Structure 1
């Protein structure tokens, strides 16, 4: 897939088939993620891969319960947490958590760059992804880190679900870019 086509056609996917994602495919996508630039070439990322739609469904219940307890009163996200049908990981076959291996702010940004590479590479392979930022506070809870094998010093930055998409969602309209030319 040509790069500009991938940029124009990649979408957040929230409907997946029941087909599992091959471990080799995940490794290939992580290989694309680590091609991202990083500040002074530190490459501060680590990856935690959770496989299995059924396991992710169980984890969705835990994450949703956590959100119900921790979202600030009046948060617009509380609507999702209160919806019995809402599943944070949307029935995906895999969750790839890109983590900053240290607490440097630049490391968090570098992980975001790796996440974009990951999602574009998945799209090019016909797979669907969605960045699940809503799960980040839960993933950084010490008990959850222990449950998933995330090292205590790592910080979950980019939780991305992955799977075989049922369909490619329609594009969402984009606003005109706000550009200031400073001369």
Structure 2
């Protein structure tokens, strides 16, 4: 799959078959995530691969918008380790880039995935900290349930001209005409 095709056709998938994701594929997903850019190349991310059915089924009790975990054969918890930062405060951006790479790689492999947010919602952070034994310097940013898709949402063109300004906020110019 070409890069732009992956970007334009990737969609959030919330329904999965029960087919397990092979370990080799999980390693490739993590390899893609860890290839993301990070401030000063600090790579302050930590990944927890969750495939224990009991743990997956419990996640919606402290993260209600992650109910698809009850179907997903796998989820990856993406966290930022603030002790690994070289540019304080950038762990959120770094881990977000890793999540985007993870989502695109999953799509490329024919898997479905969805980014469910955790940080900065204190109740969710607390739930994930407790469930996965995270120390105080490790912050859960997002959870990505992954599996073979049991749904096929169509692609959409999301480009919106009204969200584009030229050189200055509020200044419009047709970028496609001289």
- Which range, TM-score by smaller chain? 0.7 to 0.9
Match of 1:115 among 72, 84, 99: 99
Aligned counterparts, 1:91-130, within 5 A: 91-102=71-82, 104-130=88-114
Three-state SS of the structure 1 residue aligned to 2:13 is coil
Three-state SS of the structure 1 residue aligned to 2:50 is strand
Q: TM-score, normalised by structure 2?
A: 0.79
Structure of larger gyration radius: 2
Q: TM-score, normalised by structure 1?
A: 0.77
Aligned counterparts, 1:1-183, within 5 A: 1-64=1-64, 87=67, 89=69, 91-102=71-82, 104-133=88-117, 137=121, 138-141=123-126, 144-172=128-156, 174-177=158-161, 178-182=163-167
Deviations 1:4-56 (A, max 9, x none): 11011100001100112222211210100111111111111111111144531
The answer for unaligned runs of 5 or more in structure 2 is 169-178
Three-state SS of the structure 2 residue aligned to 1:169 is coil
RMSD: 2.4
Q: Deviation of residue 90 (structure 1)? A: 5.3
Moved over 6 A (4+): none
